[in-house]
Amino acid sequence: MISGAWLGLAAIALAVGFFIGAVGVGGILLIPTLVWLGAVPIHQAAATALFSFLFTGLAGTWLFQRRGSIDWNITLPVLAGAVMFSYLGAMTNSRIDAHALTLIIALVIVFAGSDILLPGRREQAHHRDGRSRGQQFLLLVVGALSGFGSGLSGAGGPLFSVPMMLVLGFVPLAAIGASQVLMIVAALFGTLGNLQYGSIDFVLAAWITLFELVGAVAGARAAHAASVAVLRRTAAGLCVLTGVLMLARST
């Protein structure tokens, strides 16, 4: 018989998958859920969540590519920057005290959510297309920072890449599309680091991945049909609330 905690994990995983598919942000919410409902240690929770995002990223990439929403001129430099730094982030994760890691993840959640909730900047007349050398370098830096942050926190690269790309002036849908592919790279190399330096609960990962995939399919449809601004604000509000609760419980 499935316990109430596992049903709760399924519900959160479904919501997380939806927000990942719709706006790229939301994966970080899975980590405190695994800690609170699943009684999973923080290091293992981050590693398990990151492993599950490998499959969510594969599904999201397929769904966005089918609709032609992945601009590879923008996506490839981000991936290149993330390749090595995801592994380094996971290695750093294993060497940080559990209390300190909890504080880092909580602060990352609050920062990411607050950044999205800030009053919107004026719409740019021309979005960047990622074709100049300067833009390619910016995307490489975005990938490096996102990959390291993903490996360190278990959040998945989109939590870092999507806000940065929007601030830098890239097309929102292209940023979300790139984040789906980034999730594969960040999760893959971060998981390789976790297999060497950390631990993953594969049974729990299989359970939450199932519901994340269902949510990701619905989220990808919403990204192309619904108001992405509303979805982003909802996910951001959840991030801020979760981060504040984590900070309160860790003090």
Q: Give the integer Cα–Cα distance in Å for 51 and 214.
A: 17
Interatomic CA distance for residues 148 and 108, integer angstroms = 13
Instruction: Confirm if 174 and 71 have CB atoms less than 8 A apart.
Output: yes
Site of tokens 């290695």: 91
**How big is the chain by its Cα radius of gyration, in Å?**
16
Q: What is the 3-state secondary structure (H, E, C) of the chain?
A: CCCHHHHHHHHHHHHHHHHHHHHCCCHHHHHHHHHHCCCCCHHHHHHHHHHHHHHHHHHHHHHHHHCCCCCHHHHHHHHHHHHHHHHHHHHHHHCCCHHHHHHHHHHHHHHHHHHHHCCCCCCCCCCECCCCHHHHHHHHHHHHHHHHHHHHHCCCCHHHHHHHHHHCCECHHHHHHHHHHHHHHHHHHHHHHHHHHCCCCHHHHHHHHHHHHHHHHHHHHHHHHCCHHHHHHHHHHHHHHHHHHHHHHHC
Question: Given a cut of 50, is residue 242 above it in pLDDT?
Answer: yes
Q: Which residue has the higher pLDDT, 108 or 142?
A: 142
pLDDT tens, position by position, 14-70: 999 998 888 887 777 888 889 988 889 988 998 999 899 999 999 999 999 999 989
Q: The dihedral of CA 64, 122, 238, 32: what is its sign?
A: positive
pLDDT in tens, 137-185: 999 999 998 888 877 777 777 878 888 887 788 888 888 899 999 999 8
Query: Hey, what are 120's tokens?
Result: 């919107």
User: pLDDT category, 1, cuts 50, 70, 90?
Assistant: very low
Indicate if the alpha-carbon torsion angle 38, 39, 42, 47 is positive or negative: negative
Confidence of residue 120 (pLDDT cuts 50, 70, 90): low
Domain borders along the chain are 4-250
Token pair recorded at residue 187: 């999760």
pLDDT band at 228 (very low <50, low <70, confident <90, very high): low
Q: Percent of the chain at pLDDT above 70?
A: 90
Q: 104 or 51: whose pLDDT is higher?
A: 51
